[in-house]
Amino acid sequence: MKKNPSGALLSALPMPDRDHAQGPADAAIQLVEYGDYECSYCGEAYPVVKAIQEHLGERLCFAFRNFPLGNSHPHAQHTAEAAEGAAAQGRFWEMHDLLYENQGALEDEDLARYASALHLDARRLMSEVLAGTYTSRVREDFRSGARHGVNGTPSFFMNGVLYNGTTSVEEMLSALTGEAV
Amino acid sequence: MSATTTTNSAKSQVQANASGALPVGMLAPDFALKSTPDQTVRLSEFRGQPVVLFFYPADWSPVCGDQVSLYNEMLAEFQELGAEVVGISVDGPWCHAAFSRDRRLHFPLLADFEPKGEVAKLYGVYRPSDGTSERALFVINREGIIHWSYVSPVGVNPGAAGILAALEELKEGEKAK
């Protein structure tokens, strides 16, 4: 994964060299989510995104960036950094999914448990989380979101444009495919 | 302001222009309001540094919550650009104190409470039909002049992109001097 120069503004399109992205980099439809693992609306958006990915298959490239609202959500920062820690061990999406599927259990000990469940080096992951190894990367995601106009979570960018509709499979699919036609 | 176009539709821009908000280039009127039941903040105390002044309709309403939470998280970015952030609504200081504690806010909320909405009226962003203010943003430069402003539809969180762009512009301007 290439390091992005600090402070440089990330594009509102998935950057597969830098982001956690699923689907072909050159897919016709490009979706970026800015999310917070403790945000209940993001939890509701999680199966919606899965359904959209299922439906669009290889036509979609989806990237997830962190937008933790740490003052409202005390677990937002550590969970974001735990997912980054899992990414460093090659299992970002597995951790991402576990976090959204277990929003009621996001204490540090839960994160360690999830790391073990994913057969990761849980000790390494937790020491990185506690040392703030990924704080600056998470911040970089956050800053890019704020500059692109993210005003809460989840926020979606469809082919680089902030989506203002509701988080439903039907409405998002129609917006996504409309853009791509 | 090109930076706001990602957040705000052309339609809302028209609404902003149609509002009576004080225009860019004007001296921001000074005022003193309570930030807590026994503390008062005066705008002119910030002279010498940029100020982000945001009016919002009410404590506790969902969009406000998102907006204040966002600015709370953005404080480090605003402060890196040398700016202070101040929120204003017509709620009283006790209400602000409870709201601020609940949201763990790290910037002051001022009570435009008595006479109600006086400062909002001074800035041209009072909504008599609702008895609250518009959701209005003002970026004031270090000389106290309104450098940028934006009035968002009441139900829409205007985000921080426009504010950041305005503060960066001010910083660039300072460097150029």
> What is residue B174's predicted lDDT score, i.e. its pLDDT?
85
> A151 and B66: CB-CB below 8 Å?
yes
Contact A151 B104 (CB under 8 A): no
Best A13, A41, A66, A71 residue to mutate vs chain B (most B CBs within 10 Å): A71
Contact B6 A71 (CB under 8 A): no
* Among the partner residues B6, B103, B165, nearest to A72 by beta-carbon distance: B103
Helices A40-56 and A169-180 cross at an angle (nearest 10°) of 50
pLDDT, residue A16, reads: 87
Within a 10 A sphere around the Cβ of B150, how many other Cβ atoms?
24
Domain coordinates in residue numbering, chain B: 2-176
Least confident of A23-37, B30-44, B58-72: B58-72
Domain that holds residue A130: 20-180
Q: Do the domain assignments include residue A13? A: no
Q: Which residues of A167-177 are buried (b: 16+ CB within 10 A; e: fewer)?
A: beeeebbebbb
Structural domain contains residue A55: yes
Longest dimension (CA), chain A: 47
> What residues of B are in contact with residue A75 (Cβ under 8 Å)?
none
Measured in angstroms, the CA of B32 and the nearest CA of chain A are apart by: 28
End-to-end CA distance of chain A: 31
Give the total number of structural domains in chain A: 1
B residues 80-139 closer than 8 Å to A (CB):
103-106
- Residue whose pair of structure tokens reads 């940029």 in the numeric block: B50
pLDDT, residue A55, reads 97
Q: Is A154 exposed, middle or buried (0-12, 13-18, 19+ CB in 10 A)?
A: buried
Burial-class residue B39 by CB neighbours within 10 Å (0-12, 13-18, 19+): exposed
Residue A120, domain member (yes or no) = yes
Relative to beta strand B132-133, strand B126-127 is antiparallel
Task: Place A181 in a pLDDT band, splitting at 50, 70 and 90.
Answer: very low
What is the reported pTM?
Answer: 0.84
Q: What per-residue string of b and e applies to B79-115 under the rule 16 or more CB within 10 Å gives b?
A: eebebbbbbbbbbbbebbbebbeebebebbbbbbbee
Relative to beta strand A60-66, strand A20-22 is: antiparallel
| B22, B41, B64, B86: the active-site residue | B64
Would residue A2 count as lying in a domain? no
Summarised one tens digit per residue, pLDDT across range B160-173 is: 999 999 999 999 98
- Proportion of chain A above pLDDT 70, given as a percent: 94
Residue of A nearest to B106 (CA): A71
Dist. CA A77–CA B59, nearest whole Å: 25
The alpha carbon of residue A36 is apart from the nearest alpha carbon of chain B, in Å, by 12
Residue A15 lies in a domain: no
Smallest CA-to-CA distance from B103 within B154, B133, B158, B66 is with B66
Q: For chain A, give the mean pLDDT.
A: 93
Tokens standing for residue A26: 């050159």
The answer as to CATH 3.40.30.10 being correct for domain B2-176 is yes
Predicted confidence band at A179 (pLDDT cuts at 50, 70, 90)?
low
Chain A nearest-CA distance from B99, in A, is: 12
Mean pLDDT of B90-107: 95
CB-based contact (8 Å) between A40 and chain B?
no
Check CB contact of A148 with chain B, cutoff 8 Å.
yes
Contact with chain A for residue B42, Cβ under 8 A: no
Pairwise CB contact (< 8 Å): A69 & B103: no
CA atoms within 13 A on the CB side of A49: 28
Domain at A174, CATH number: 3.40.30.10
Contacts of B66 in chain A (CB under 8 A): 151-152
Instruction: Kindly state whether residue A11 falls inside one of the protein's structural domains.
Output: no
Report the residue from B69, B104, B159 with minimal CB separation from A149. Answer: B159
Spatial separation of the C-alpha atoms in residues A120 and B80, rounded to whole Å: 37
Distance of CA B87 to the CA centre of its chain: 5
> What tens digit of pLDDT does each residue of A94-147 get?
999 999 999 999 999 999 999 999 999 999 999 999 999 999 999 999 999 999
Chain A contact for B77 (CB, 8 A cutoff): yes
